A = this chain, B = another copy of it.
Amino acid sequence: MASEKSENSRSDKQRVTIREVAAKAEVALSSVSRALSGHPDVSDEMRKRVKEIADELGYEPNLVAQSLRSGVTRTIGFVVRDINNPMFALLARSCENELRRNGYSMILVNSDGSIENENRNFSLLRRRRVDGIIASLVSEDSPYLIKNLDSPRSPIVLLDREVKGINASAVLADHAAGVHEAVTHLIKAGHREIAFITGSNNVYPTRNRLQGFTKAFEDAKLKLQPDLMAIGGFDAEYALSHARILLHRNPAPTAILAGGHGALMGVSRALKEKKITMGKEIAFIALDQLPYLEVFSDNISTVYRDTEAIGREAARLILEGIDGEKPRVSLIETQFIERASSQGGLQHA
């Protein structure tokens, strides 16, 4: 493939457009467009010829121009609190894979737990004319939300969030079932002082876990102990400080449930401080099967859900939405997985 005069054209800065391909092939712009985009009304000869010349010239279609003309960007916004949370990273990963398999790219934005940030991000994504947004909202009752999400131009998929009165799909995990299972297990083992640390209840997972928690107590005809419940923050600092307080309580909790990555971090640090070992002096259950747990601390009992599947499902829901189908909610099951850490805690028995 020795080319005589392609050397000069390689170094010049102008991008090659469909127009140059057309000129070199001595056909119309429209024919080039049709030939390259797989339009049916094109002769085999034309298609072959155009493709050859496009390759030769190193033509790279301009997706920006395509988007402007076609009104479709093949881009999805992915909004999370913090990609650094391994749960979100796993979601992003499986979601991006599924999207890319379908020809879509993903714009990642971290809202950093700030509602104002989140709102700015939504508005930026809309200006970018993304074809859809997948989001794990900071809160379900932000004043901007309705304005932002109601009657949206492009479909929205909420990750584990429930917002009333808007037209969005959602992937919801059935936390309640798994938590119910876990707490019932603890109660049957004799636990009565069960602590519960998780994020604030302005998001679905907290409320839903709380339901499972409460129902387990009801079913066992026990009454809840609200002072054992710290429901207010997903960050490790919140969990750490509240775990410290709870561990000083009298009687001390015999079991602890930690909801989310931050809670797991905080609680495990607090336990370490007091040299309390999970599965011995206290029973511990993580309400999320975080990715690193499998390998690193393979003795931690968890409420499991298939996070990869959730990411994939979110991608599918958004693609459905783009296809014009009605929003729908997809429920993902959870399951209590008993390991060593949920033993113990009842040394007095």
Q: Chain A, 84-121, contact with B by CB distance < 8 Å: what is the 0/1 string?
A: 10100110110011001000011111101000000000
- Nearest CB of B to A279, in Å: 15
**With an 8 A cutoff between CB atoms, is A64 at the interface?**
yes
Q: A10-B153, A127-B60, A295-B265 are in contact. Are A96 and B84 (CB under 8 A)?
A: no
**With an 8 A cutoff between CB atoms, is A6 at the interface?**
yes
**Are B93 and A83 in touch, CB under 8 angstroms?**
yes
Q: A68-B64, A83-B93, A269-B295 are in contact. Are A128 and B105 (CB under 8 A)?
A: yes
| 3 A-B pairs closest in CB distance | A108-B108, A89-B89, A265-B295
Complex Cα distance, B124 from A85, in Å, reads 27
- Nearest CB of B to A59, in Å: 10
**With an 8 A cutoff between CB atoms, is A13 at the interface?**
yes
Which A1-52 residues sit within 8 Å CB-CB of chain B?
3-6, 8-11, 13, 15
Residues of B within 8 A of A106 (CB): 107-109
Residues of B within 8 A of A108 (CB): 78, 92, 96, 106-108
**Residues on A facing B (Cβ under 8 Å):** 3-6, 8-11, 13, 15, 60-65, 67-68, 73, 75, 78, 82-84, 86, 89-90, 92-93, 96-97, 100, 105-110, 112, 123-124, 126-129, 151-155, 236, 265, 268-269, 272, 291-292, 295-298, 323-326
Copies in the complex: 2
**Are B89 and A10 in touch, CB under 8 angstroms?**
no
Complex Cα distance, B83 from A86, in Å, reads 9
Complex Cα distance, B127 from A248, in Å, reads 59
Residues of B within 8 A of A323 (CB): 3
**Beyond A4-B326, A15-B153, A78-B108, 10 additional pairs, beta carbon < 8 A:** A3-B325, A10-B152, A10-B154, A64-B73, A75-B107, A93-B110, A105-B107, A107-B107, A108-B108, A265-B295
Among the listed B13, B84, B152, B291, which residue makes an inter-chain contact with A93, where contact means beta carbons less than 8 Å apart?
B84
Complex Cα distance, B156 from A10, in Å, reads 12
**Are B68 and A83 in touch, CB under 8 angstroms?**
no
Complex Cα distance, B6 from A328, in Å, reads 12
**Are A4 and B68 in touch, CB under 8 angstroms?**
no
Complex Cα distance, B130 from A128, in Å, reads 13
- Nearest CB of B to A89, in Å: 4
Residues of B within 8 A of A152 (CB): 10
What are 17 A-B contacts with C-beta separation under 8 Å? A3-B323, A5-B326, A10-B153, A13-B153, A60-B123, A64-B73, A83-B83, A83-B96, A84-B291, A89-B89, A96-B108, A100-B109, A105-B109, A105-B124, A108-B108, A265-B295, A292-B296
Complex Cα distance, B269 from A15, in Å, reads 51
Name the CB-closest residue of B to A326.
Answer: B6
**Are A110 and B124 in touch, CB under 8 angstroms?**
no
**Are B292 and A272 in touch, CB under 8 angstroms?**
no
Q: A3-B325, A64-B68, A92-B108 are in contact. Are A272 and B291 (CB under 8 A)?
A: no
Residues of B within 8 A of A100 (CB): 109-110
**Are A325 and B4 in touch, CB under 8 angstroms?**
yes
Q: A92-B83, A110-B96, A128-B105 are in contact. Are A64 and B67 (CB under 8 A)?
A: yes
Residues of B within 8 A of A292 (CB): 86, 292, 296
